[in-house]
Amino acid sequence: MVADVTDAVDTVGDGLRTAVERRVLDDGDVAGRPLDRAALRRAVARALAAEGVVVSPARWATLVRALVDDLGGLGPLEPLLRDPSVTDVMVNAPDEVWVDRGGRLDRAPVAFRDDEHVVRTLERVLGPLGARLDRAQPFADAVLPGGLRLHALLPPLADHPVVTLRRVASVVPSWAELEASGAVPPAQRELLGRLVAERRNLVVCGRAGVGKTTLLARLLADVADDRVLVIEDAPELSRPAPHSLHLRVLPPSPDGAGGTTVAELVRNALRMRPDRLVVGEVRGAEVADLLQAMNTGHDGSMSTVHANGAPDALVRLEGMALLAGLPQAAARAQLASALDVVVALDRTPARGRHVAAVVEVVAGPDGPRVREVAP
C-alpha cells in the first residue's frame, strides 16, 4: 500500500496538484474550518472530478487518499504512520526516510519531492499548533493530534530539513503483553510489581527507543489510588494511574518571553499534595528538586533518564545535580538516600527491547553504587 500511494502522488503532475489544491482551498466545506479528513476527502474528490480526472475506482480511491495525505497531513509519511508496527519515522533528506519497527530500522519506500516539499508539509502541520519554524527559529518540537511527537530541524543546522516522529502508545501494555514480547520476563515482572507496591523510589534508564516510557507507564498503572503528579515536557504518559494529574512544560513564546520549566513544575507539584511524583524524563536542574521530593516523604516516585546502564545512570544524575548547584558530596548523599532502584533497559537484535538489570542503589565510600536485586 505504501508504494501504491507513493506512486499515485508521483503520477499527479504539479499542474493538477496545484489545481486541486486551489479548488480545495475554495471549497466551502473545508475553507476556514478545522481540519476534517472526511470533509477534505470529499473536497478532493470533487476537485478531481471538476478537473476531469478519469481513472478506475481503485485508482481513484488511492489517488484521493494520496492527495488528502499531501494536502492535510504529513504527505508521504502518512502511509507509514498507518502501519501500527511503526514506532518512529525519521526523515534525513527528501529521498531518505527510515522507520523503526520494534527496534529494527528499515529504509522506507517513500520520498518527498524536494526540500521545499518537506518545509511546506511542516508549516502546514505546525501552523495550527502555534509552533514557529523558520530561519530565525530553525528547530521545533510539537505534539500532533493523536499524540504523535514531532521534532523538526532546518538548514543550515543540517544539509536538508530533518524530521523525527515518535508514536506515543495510547494504551498501556499489560504485563502479559510485555512478558509475551520478551520485554519483561516473569521473575522480573513479579519483582517490579513488588517494588511498586513497596513504594520504592526508582528510575528507568536506557538508550533512546528501548521502551523507558512504556515501562514507566506500566509501573504507574499499578499504583492503586495514590495521587500521582506527572510532569512532562510532552504528553507521553497518558493518565496511566487512576488518580493522576498531569503538568506540562510551557515553552517560551517565539520572542523568547515566558515559559515554564520542569524544575518549576516540580516545585509547584510539591505543593499539590502528591503521594508520588513522576518526572517523565530528568534532563537537568529538576533532578535536585526530584531527589528532595524522594527524600521528604514522597515514596514511590519515579522517572526516566537516558543512560547506557545503571552505573551510568547514577553518573548522569550526579552530573545533573552538580549543574543544579549541589556540591558533589551533597549530590552523592542525596542520590544514595533518595533513590532505591534503577531499572536498566536495553535493545539487542536477538532479544529486542528488554529489561537488562534491576539494581538497588546503596551508599558506598565514594558515593552511591549499585548491586543486583534478586528476583
CA distance 217 to 210: 14
- Give start-end residues of each CATH 3.40.50.300 domain in the chain: 175-372
Q: What fold, for 78-167? A: Beta-Lactamase (3.30.450)
Phi first, then psi: give them for residue 331, nearest 5 degrees: -60, -45
What are residue 205's DSSP bridge partners? 305, 344
CA distance 132 to 140: 7
| Burial class of residue 327, CB neighbours in 10 A (0-12, 13-18, 19+) | exposed
CATH number of 175-372: 3.40.50.300
Which residues in the chain show pLDDT less than 70? 1-15, 17, 25, 28-37, 55, 170, 239-240, 253-257, 374-375
Cβ pair 246, 239 in contact under 8 A: yes
Going by C-alpha positions, the residue among 325, 322, 264, 270 that lies closest to residue 301 is 270
Is the pTM for the entire model greater than 0.85?
A: no
* Sequence-ordered alpha helix ranges (H) in the chain: 2-10, 14-26, 37-50, 57-72, 78-81, 115-126, 175-180, 186-197, 212-220, 262-269, 286-295, 310-323, 328-338
Pull the grid cell for residue 189. Answer: 515482572
CA distance 133 to 124: 11
What are residue 341's DSSP bridge partners? 202, 360
- Give start-end residues of each CATH 3.30.450.90 domain in the chain: 78-167
What are residue 93's DSSP bridge partners? 96
Taking only the tens place, the pLDDT of each residue in 178-205 is 999 889 988 899 999 999 999 999 999 9
Sequence-distant (6+) residues with CB within 8 A of 158 are none
User: What integer pLDDT is reported at residue 30 of this predicted model?
Assistant: 64
Phi first, then psi: give them for residue 97, nearest 5 degrees: -125, 135
